[in-house]
Structures are given as C-alpha cells and as structure tokens.
Amino acid sequence: MDCWVCERTALGACRFCGRGTCREHAKTQPFVFDVFRGNKHQMLRALVVEDALHCGVCRPRGDPVDLPELE
Ligand SMILES: [Zn+2]
Ligand SMILES: [Zn+2]
C-alpha cells in the first residue's frame, strides 16, 4: 500500500477511511472505537483512541453521531 498523498510506501492505514499514509502525511484524530452502555447509569459511553492514524484527506465527523438503531 502506498501513501494516498505522495505515493511513497505507506507506514499505516487511516483509521477512518482506510487510505494508506506515510509518516510525513500521517495525522492523528480521536477515534471512537467502541460504544457501550455503562451498567451504573445506563448511559451510552464511548471508548476513544486519542491519536488514531488519520490520512489528513478524509473528514471524519467531529461531533458524535446519534445511533438510534442501536437503542
Ligand atoms: Zn505521503
Ligand atoms: Zn482517511
């Protein structure tokens, strides 16, 4: 896999869209990797990776998205 931006060998894949990215073009973004309901307060909680690999090209949503189908 090559970097989406400069076409050199990619060091990793964007967590959000799957594009390859090299060290130079890699950025980081918080990434919600799991959502669960706390057993104490019955609230939906999210586990977040603060510095997930981001290609800098795609635009992950900054705001939480409602997931009514999981209710
Ligand atoms: Zn690159
Ligand atoms: Zn991306």
What are the pLDDT digits (tens) for 8-61?
999 999 999 999 999 999 999 888 888 888 777 778 888 888 999 999 999 877
Q: What DSSP state is assigned to residue 24?
A: T
- Backbone φ and ψ for 68, nearest 5 degrees, come out as -60, -30
Residues in the chain: 71
pLDDT, residue 40, reads: 74
Supply 59's token pair: 């635009």
pLDDT, residue 63, reads: 67
pLDDT, residue 35, reads: 86
pLDDT of 64 strictly over 70: no
Write out the residues surrounding ion ligand 2, Cβ under 5 A.
Answer: 14, 16-17, 19, 55, 58
What CA–CA distance (Å, rounded) separates 12 from 34?
Answer: 21
Q: Which ligand is nearest to the CA of 4?
A: 1
Torsion, CA 47, CA 45, CA 62, CA 4, rounded to 10: 30
Amino acid letter at 54? H
* pTM for this entry: 0.69
